[in-house]
Structure 1
């Protein structure tokens, strides 16, 4: 197939600039507009970057119209069904699924890096007792750059790999410590004999006074959630990590910037918003009235956890997580009015023509919040759980960017709308 050719034409002067096509393995081609300003003295304008490619990447592919999500070419549904989160982390970082020996080595490496410096524990005491765990996560992850100076040599592939292993291993320990600080309980050290998600649950819910046994159903549910959240192409937080990282900053600082971006309710905080919505509805009997208000454009009522900016037909992750959600609720014999309320919302949204026509299907945020709730994870820890999973993608994107010899510091342009040039008047004439 021949590569398509594109040009930008100034209709007033007839001046033309060729726009080379940048092709990928899958998906539409990109247009290289890098020389448009130099040749035609105009900028391209794309608020929110919804039609702009910021980079080339071999990590994740999304086809929003077809509902496709691939990690390194593998459908996410297959990975969630057949692999552990650690296997998927290896895949995202290295490009291929590990064999048995590679998986064992990688798993052991992650387990051996889970502890954090003892002095870091004191950082948590500096936060107010009611600080949001995401505030603690942002600050403590940023502070890792004060402990690990060997990663400042970003050009060394071995140093980049060490950073990724450390970050993936330590983020559950930091998140669990933030939770313990919030609830006022003693920190729990990681246990190297436990798998990744079991270790996280142990650090969150175990106490020194008595033994704690991790529920394997809960651990597997987390594993699936983490696989589904591990990466999602050039989303807001990943783009933030790349933009910060493009300056050559310490990679831990770049990850902290990503965590801060993830905190927003329009991004990683969406599953928190789902549970808040359920609180506001209050009773399953009020669901029909609530859904009627959602249909009324003048009511100002929004349906949280439904639809997606990228996926126009369905979110492939939601199909997987829906099955997992119902499996968890059944296995744990959960009887929670809030969960009954959520299931009623789901039932109406999947059967009502209004929602079907507008493709307002339940998305991954809707179901993930329900699963976290069923596992006893409090609402303010939902986004930190997302951050734990997405750390894999952030680290992989940072490595890919730093290893690219064509990398340049990110520098978006703007269309200036302020005052034209003017002279400063004397003070007595203002």
Structure 2
């Protein structure tokens, strides 16, 4: 691999290094080439070249933002962004949304096949029986401020679970706890999967109720996964309380659509973290933190805030012009992967119709549809392939009565399944787990000698000087006071 060769072969890539004249043959497997093969392509350093370039140690592959770098072989999710295709384990998302359920699809993603009735019953029973949380979780939740963002709470709650289950921690039980592939290893892995999926809705409901100033609700028996979730959020003591079946079904469909999406930012974060063989609760917490960002899971919240800022449908044309002038940010259109319409968006539209029949149409729907029509007929957006994406499901969440800052939580809960599917796959992959350690291209200063502080020339500039905070209140008074050890500015 990567050895000099005079001629290419089938299923290989021939590379000529014009610096040395050498020709290299690199194998192509599954339409991919190994990045490590380029380490064999070495050349003498040019006169005066920076030693940090490490030219004599082989080529590095620069790929800012992982635009075209495959870091793992996976059997889980296939996406064709050009054709607008999304498949879980080979099954089109459109078929699963109509015929399957969230928990059945979760089984499919994790174990690789649709379950028999017996297999599904075992899985569903274990997930639902593991929805209870330790009493100490209540203490954690009540420690947060009343106005804390629910995603911050959920991220911390997932991390806290790692401190409750010593048998789930490879640091305590041995680093091959999940990687041996024997019956005991897989059983330990499955138990954590049951716990995380089961407790995801419970923790999310607790994050919701702490914001509402309500007591927590014990997960009920006999309800579906999403029915239990709605019950835990909304039950206030009513006798024989049963959530709306329409909302329950809609949430189940949306959970199914959001269950996995290949190596997006949060899934990559989970695998990056898990590659150190940390416990799965810490890895899921890291993924939750990644999902929190407005370029990822926070996008559907951003869509609604954008629509609120637009207001009336009559204001859409002016807003679109501001977007084209880069004066405003357009949310809900375009996707890192999909260059045509997101296949999930059509299912979201159908689900929205069902929800609106019982809740009434969201007042922002007309604004959203006008924005869709204007953007889809404008050459600016057509040329850039900015089609509507799934983040418009925020309209459904809003119609169902969820607060804006809870939208990312409704994304995180189902995505736990996808994260766990990829985590399980990586733990059991042939050859074991290697810690993810990407390279960098160092462009900073070359070697320089230390200068004593009194001999230095200050380096000025906005990005080179720490910002001075404008203090007020007690902090300001303390800065004006005198005391032993006070720093001199």
Q: Compute the TM-score of the two structures, normalised by the length of structure 2.
A: 0.83
Q: 1:360-386 CA distances to partner (integer Å, 9 max, x unpaired)?
A: 2211012x1011111111111110110
* Pairing partner for 1:226 from 255, 277, 286: 255
Match of 1:26 in 2: none
* Pairing partner for 1:302 from 315, 329, 341: 329
Q: 2:36 aligns to what SS in structure 1? A: coil
Match of 1:320 in 2: 347
CA 1:290/1:102 → structure 2, altered by over 3 Å: closer, same or farther?
same
| 1:228-267 matched pairs, under 5 angstroms | 228-267=257-296
What's the offset of the Cα at 1:16?
3.4
Match of 1:5 in 2: 12
* Pairing partner for 1:387 from 406, 409, 412: 412
Q: 1:49 aligns to what SS in structure 2? A: coil
Distance 1:427 1:303 in 2: 48
Distance 1:288 1:419 in 2: 49
What's the offset of the Cα at 1:188?
1.2
Q: 1:381-403 CA distances to partner (integer Å, 9 max, x unpaired)?
A: 11011001100000011111111
CA 1:85/1:250 → structure 2, altered by over 3 Å: closer, same or farther?
same
Distance 2:85 2:78 in 1: 8
Match of 1:163 in 2: 192
Distance 1:149 1:19 in 2: 45
* Pairing partner for 2:36 from 34, 51, 74: 34
Distance 2:268 2:127 in 1: 25
| 1:24-423 matched pairs, under 5 angstroms | 29-37=31-39, 39-40=41-42, 41-152=58-169, 153-155=177-179, 156-208=185-237, 212-294=241-323, 296-297=324-325, 299-329=326-356, 331-366=357-392, 368-406=393-431, 407-423=433-449
What's the offset of the Cα at 1:351?
4.1
What's the offset of the Cα at 1:7?
3.3
Distance 2:301 2:347 in 1: 20
Distance 1:324 1:136 in 2: 29
Distance 2:289 2:208 in 1: 17
Query: Gapped runs of 5+ residues in structure 2?
Result: 1-8, 43-57, 170-176, 180-184, 457-489
CA contact (8 A) 2:339 2:387 kept: no
Where is the helix percentage greater, Structure 1 or Structure 2? Answer: 1
Greater mean deviation of Cα atoms: 318-327 or 273-282: 318-327
What's the offset of the Cα at 1:248?
0.7
Greater mean deviation of Cα atoms: 219-228 or 7-16: 7-16
**Larger C-alpha radius of gyration, 1 or 2?**
2
Q: 2:360 aligns to what SS in structure 1? A: coil
CA contact (8 A) 1:188 1:208 kept: no
Query: Gapped runs of 5+ residues in structure 1?
Result: 24-28
What's the offset of the Cα at 1:428?
4.6
What's the offset of the Cα at 1:332?
1.3
CA contact (8 A) 1:17 1:36 kept: no
- Between Structure 1 and Structure 2, how many residues are aligned? 420
Question: Could you say what the CA RMSD is over the residues aligned between the two structures, in angstroms?
Answer: 1.7
Q: 2:118 aligns to what SS in structure 1? A: helix
